Amino acid sequence: MTFKDENGIIRKYKVGEMAISESMAFLIEHHLYPDVLVKPAHCPYFVVKKIAEWKLKRTLDDLTLIALCDVSLLCSLPGYALYEILDFFATHDIEITPALVYCYGLGTIMSNKLSRTRSWEDELSYIMEIANKQFCDLFIHPYWTEFRSVTKCAFDAGLEIRKNIPTLFLDIAKNGKIANNKPFQKCLNELGCLAVKNKSNEIYSILPVKCKDKSLDPDWLISLHQFYNILFTNTALATNSGKKIIEKECDLKYWCRKSFIRKGEKDLTSESYNCSYFPWLNVSKTDLRQCSFGRLWATFGFDRIKMTPK
């Protein structure tokens, strides 16, 4: 999508799930905490706002923009859905409210435009089932024996909430700071959060209410983040005697140390040279029983990659 905005700047976007979900996340956060967030990059956080202003030739308030994002994300082709909804409102001289966005976006006309052969609820159920399987297939090591049951609880709870409260994200945005935000608290209680990192860099899990009897370490989140940094940034690049080398202390080192102490296990971090410099080498059978990073690295097949600096 290419257009010229109100300042004469030519904007070119590829609009899909990422741009819309990131736009919605920023809109909700900014609406709840307007004086806290640092203004982020234009793309993807202001993409929906800019497209709406261009298409409608007017501005929309945050709550209406959130509704636009939310409804679009309930469609299998969110970018196409967003454009079609805006196209409809651009040709009708009416007040655009969040309620109207939900009524039109989830109604019969949009359903026909999207060539739906099932209701949006049934379509969502189908997509959620696929997403749950794809997500669980990332964690196949025996260490994650309870992972599938926990994530199934979370996906099932998410589906139930969305079907019963399609305006969930709008409700969260309307109910103020999260400490007293009942829709947010209900969502967190039902879905849980499989990995939370606080200001003290402590990592923990909040399990879905129906899985409180299960256990799940949140180490996978930090592992995934570290994968990206190692493979696609200069985080793991160092220089030794003028030569570039790859080395990096594992971000999980201190979390693992606390975990080993809590579980009464041998402290791998004090015995393994790899934890301080080369965590991607912790892929032996012995290491995999203890090393969170190594388990995920090997599961994804990254242990077959030859690591060389560029």
CA distance 256 to 145: 19
Query: What are 13-64's pLDDT values in tens digits?
Result: 788 899 999 999 999 999 998 888 788 888 888 899 989 998 999 999 999 9
Nearest to 139 by CA among 223, 69, 52: 223
* pTM for the predicted model, two decimal places: 0.78
Nearest to 219 by CA among 188, 251, 247, 192: 251
Query: Are residues 293 and 278 in contact, defined by beta-carbon separation less than 8 angstroms?
Result: no
> At 201, is the pLDDT very low, low, confident or very high (cuts 50, 70, 90)?
low
Query: Are residues 177 and 30 in contact, defined by beta-carbon separation less than 8 angstroms?
Result: no
Those residues whose C-beta lies under 8 Å from the C-beta of residue 301, and which sit 6 or more positions away, are none
The answer on pLDDT for 138 being more than 80 is no
Question: Burial code of 31-62, b = ≥16 C-beta within 10 A, e = fewer?
Answer: bbeeeeeeeeeeebbbbbbbbbbbbeeeebeb
The answer on pLDDT for 219 being more than 80 is no
The answer on pLDDT for 132 being more than 80 is yes
User: In the prediction, which pLDDT does 129 show?
Assistant: 92
